[in-house]
Amino acid sequence: MKSLISVVDILDRLTKQFVEAKLYSGIDEANLADFEARWLPLLAEKLQRATPEELAQAQAQDARWNWRRKEAAWGHALSYQAFAVEADTVTQGLMYVSKHHHSRLPDHLGAPVIYVEAIATAPWNRPRFVPQPKYKGVGQVLIQAAISLSIEEEYKGRIGLHALPQSDSWYRDALGMIDFGADPDAHDMHYFELTGEQATKLIS
């Protein structure tokens, strides 16, 4: 069930003004309809014309993700939770997390983490996808939601994820997550983890 968690500010890069965005727990038909009607045509067009390298360059490596299928597979499971960010009554970002993964940090081996299964901002917000990206901060809002959930579930703020190559530097350099390197069990995507201490700094 979708419920409003908070109202947050994100930056409209075009007007240079902050605007209100709504962060929801759960996604509904309106979010899926936005994905299919607004996101997918842009991603599909890019997918049709681009090489894998160009997809990475254009921050479009999620072009084959289908959020309706994710919702169908995970929507009723207690172990998964979805989040959506909306602004201008349009879906600006989506995320699915799961609650059954464990830390790979030597000091916290076996401790639970919130694992980010999938996270995406709308194509028009991506700096390398469009010449004039719209909103900045959607991904950060979603990551902070994952951290908050981790604290709420007594996981101390720990989160983990496998990053699409297009996003490696954002997780490592902007968020300061620990890079465990390429994971052969996950198509060689890099595994990243945020400690409880790092999480506290990020949301304070």
Nearer Cβ to another protein, position 7 or 37?
7
Contact status, residue 91 vs residue 38, Cβ threshold 8 Å: yes
Closest CA to 178 of 151, 199, 203, 154: 199
Segment interacting with another protein, rule: CB under 8 A, options 13-21, 35-43, 71-79, 88-96: 71-79
Contact status, residue 23 vs residue 6, Cβ threshold 8 Å: yes
Nearer Cβ to another protein, position 53 or 154?
154
What is the spatial distance between Cα 8 and Cα 20, in angstroms, rounded to a whole number? 6
What does the DSSP 8-state code read for residue 26?
S
Segment interacting with another protein, rule: CB under 8 A, options 52-60, 107-115, 174-182, 186-194: 107-115
* Angstrom distances, CA of residue 58 to CA of 44, 64, 94, 154, 187: 13, 14, 18, 37, 20
Q: Considering only residues 99, 104, 136, 172, which one is a binding residue for another protein as defined by CB under 8 A?
A: 99
Q: Considering only residues 44, 79, 88, 128, which one is a binding residue for another protein as defined by CB under 8 A?
A: 79
Annotate each residue in 126-165 with x if it binds another protein (CB under 8 A) or - if it does not, as one string: --------------------------xxx-x---------
What is the spatial distance between Cα 129 and Cα 119, in angstroms, rounded to a whole number? 16
The answer to whether 6 contacts another protein (rule: CB under 8 A) is: no
What are the residues binding another protein (CB under 8 A)?
1, 3, 25, 76-79, 99-100, 110-112, 152-154, 156
